[in-house]
């Protein structure tokens, strides 16, 4: 029996066929990878859209929560002036400070969106502050005559802690603001049956007895490439309790217009 080896020509043909097959497989892999990236971006955009709309829905749903109806002579500060926005965040269109009870909603045309004539929506509540555990706390304070002390009963998942700033409102229909308190009620005395509603505001000294968030359209310095040149980003801006400035965060891309409409129930 006679054995034959592989000739150079046969080896080259085999290598050429292998290279062609590998190139075809690599091309198929690139197509799959490109499609995967596109689908991933679409899924990511959809998730971001749903998350942004859910945050907006939650802020609207909780508007007015924990707001006083009667300031009882108390005064406060609200948003600070910032001329880079039109209207100015400190405009009387939005600000109720220093002595007016805060409105749950305020809105106006957005002067930063040129001809689109979109709106600015301002929402006020004790809970309109993402990432702040104190703003999610609420409950009631009552005077315990047996111990001659004020006690707080939390109705939220977390209890009030030392250093938490909150407001106390009378439990009658006037929702009268009694002042800002740090953790425990001061030694004001009391009588059995005295009850106050308590709403968490912030972890440090607060300039206003509520939290405020503004929604508006604005063009970022570097807009996403996938968006139309004439589109904007929807921003959510919390008013800082320290300096009154906006702390903004984009929540939706490629937005053409943002209009506010109120319906009567």
Per-residue pLDDT tens digits for 36-55: 777 777 667 777 778 889 99
State the pTM of this model: 0.80
| Domain extent at residue 110 | 62-265
How many separate domains does the chain show?
1
Whether residue 2 lies inside any domain: the answer is: no
Burial class (CB in 10 A: 0-12, 13-18, 19+), 166: buried
Whether residue 51 lies inside any domain: the answer is: no
Whether residue 13 lies inside any domain: the answer is: no
| Among the listed residues 258, 255, 259, 245, the one whose alpha carbon sits nearest the alpha carbon of residue 220 | 255
Q: What is the pLDDT of residues 94-105, one digit of tens each?
A: 999 999 999 999
The reported pLDDT for the residue numbered 24 is: 83
The reported pLDDT for the residue numbered 183 is: 46
Whether residue 251 lies inside any domain: the answer is: yes
Whether residue 69 lies inside any domain: the answer is: yes
Which residues on adjacent β-strands are paired with residue 176? 70
Whether residue 188 lies inside any domain: the answer is: yes
Q: What is the dihedral of CA 154, 66, 251, 46, to 10 degrees?
A: 60
Whether residue 15 lies inside any domain: the answer is: no
Q: What is the pLDDT of residues 58-108, one digit of tens each?
A: 999 999 999 998 888 888 999 999 999 989 999 999 999 999 999 999 999
46: left (phi over 0), alpha (psi -120 to 50) or beta: alpha
Q: Is the confidence at residue 1, as pLDDT, over 60?
A: no
Q: For the chain, what is the mean pLDDT?
A: 84
Q: What is the pLDDT of residues 129-188, one digit of tens each?
A: 988 888 999 998 888 888 877 888 889 888 888 788 888 888 776 677 765 555 445 556
The reported pLDDT for the residue numbered 180 is: 58
Phi, psi of 203 (to 5 degrees): -95, -5
The encoded tokens of residue 137 equal 């706390």
The reported pLDDT for the residue numbered 251 is: 92
Whether residue 28 lies inside any domain: the answer is: no
> What is the mean pLDDT of the segment spanning 107-124?
85
């Amino acid at each position: 029996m006679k054995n034959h080896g592989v000739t150079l020509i046969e080896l080259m043909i085999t290598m050429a066929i292998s290279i062609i097959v590998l190139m075809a497989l690599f091309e198929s892999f690139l197509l799959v990878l490109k499609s995967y990236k596109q689908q991933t971006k679409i899924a990511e955009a959809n998730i971001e859209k749903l998350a942004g709309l859910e945050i907006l829905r939650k802020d609207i749903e909780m508007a007015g929560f924990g707001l006083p109806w009667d300031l009882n002579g108390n005064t406060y500060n609200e948003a600070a002036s910032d001329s880079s926005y039109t209207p100015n965040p400190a405009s009387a269109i939005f600000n109720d400070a220093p002595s007016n009870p805060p409105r749950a909603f305020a809105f106006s045309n957005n002067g930063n969106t040129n001809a689109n004539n979109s709106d600015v929506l301002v929402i006020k509540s004790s809970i309109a502050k993402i990432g702040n555990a104190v703003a999610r706390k609420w409950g009631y304070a009552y005077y315990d005559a047996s111990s001659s002390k004020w006690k707080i009963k939390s109705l939220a998942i977390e209890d009030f802690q030392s250093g938490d700033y909150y407001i106390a409102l009378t439990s009658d229909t006037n929702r009268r603001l009694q002042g800002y308190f740090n953790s425990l009620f001061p030694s004001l005395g009391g009588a059995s049956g005295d009850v106050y509603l308590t709403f968490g505001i912030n972890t440090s000294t607060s300039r206003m007895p509520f939290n405020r968030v503004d929604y508006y359209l604005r063009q970022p310095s570097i807009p996403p490439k996938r968006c139309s040149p004439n589109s904007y980003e929807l921003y959510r801006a919390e008013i800082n309790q320290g300096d009154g400035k906006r702390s903004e965060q984009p929540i939706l891309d490629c937005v053409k217009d943002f209009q506010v409409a109120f319906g009567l129930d």
